[in-house]
Amino acid sequence: MILHISPESSILIRAAATTILVLHISGGIVGLLSGAAALVARKGSRLHRIAGNAFFVSMLTMSAIGACVSPFLDKTLDPLVGVFTFYLVATGWATVRRRPGSVGRFEIGAFLVAVGIVVANLAYAVQAAASPTGTIGGYPPAAYGFLGSFVALAAALDLRMILRGGISGASRIARHLWRMCLALGIAAASLFLGQQQLFPESLRGSLLLFLPEIAVLGLLCFWLVRVRFAKGFPNRTTASTGRLRAERVS
């Protein structure tokens, strides 16, 4: 994200723009580092919880700023990506905070947000297809369709969970994992693929910039397989979460 401030702008505006930019960049960096730490750490361990807390705060900060500022930069897809990332982190976090086998107003509200993102992507895709350039906001219909498909999947899973009255066990942990990992993957792609001008010219356009995204996908697959097929894993994770809550109550 690049903020263009007029030279005639007041000191207050410049300071505000600088603060927003610093928060956005630092949130992304902390999110990537803490997300990587949370991925490799043993699930339910103290390191995992600390890294997860840092990831939660930093990613919400980064995605909220991106979603709010991007419309002023004549972007159309970027705000949707920001809102979707915020949604993923918030719902992924709520999944392990909510009592297993229960749902509330938050889950219903999150589902409606996801539906809204899908509708917005569909509307932009139609507008892009009908425009003389075949794009809107610099993106073709396929870009909106690609993002919309992921959001639609998340919304469908939300609805399924709501109708079932919640989830528990391995399904609960898997929901937490894939949402947090997808948010981490979006952050990695935004930096390594979306901001290639920050890297040496020799790396721009290189396949090496795809390695972080591939690593996130690989670790996600590893943990999902382990959660689904390793005996006792959901119970150990649930027990760790229960101990953490008990410590906070005491």
Using one digit for the tens of pLDDT, what is the confidence trace for 79-89? 999 999 999 99
> What's the CA gap between 46 and 221, in Å, rounded?
23
Q: Is the pLDDT of residue 76 over 90?
A: no
169-206: pLDDT as tens digits: 889 999 999 999 999 999 998 888 877 877 788 888 88
- In the structure encoding, which two tokens stand for residue 33, read together? 């580092």
- From 54-58, 96-100, 228-232, the region with the lowest mean pLDDT: 228-232
Chain centroid, CA 35 distance in Å: 11
Mean pLDDT of 224-236: 66
> What's the CA gap between 245 and 227, in Å, rounded?
22
Which among 229, 214, 147 is positioned nearest to 181, based on CA atoms?
214
What's the predicted TM-score (pTM) here? 0.82
Residue 78 C-beta-side C-alpha neighbours within 13 Å: 19
Which among 54, 63, 10 is positioned nearest to 33, based on CA atoms?
54
Assign 92 a pLDDT band (cuts: 50, 70, 90): very high
126-175: pLDDT as tens digits: 999 999 999 998 899 999 999 999 999 999 999 999 999 999 988 999 99
> What pLDDT, on a 0 to 100 scale, did the predictor assign at position 249?
38
Chain centroid, CA 3 distance in Å: 22
Which residue is listed with tokens 């290189």? Answer: 206
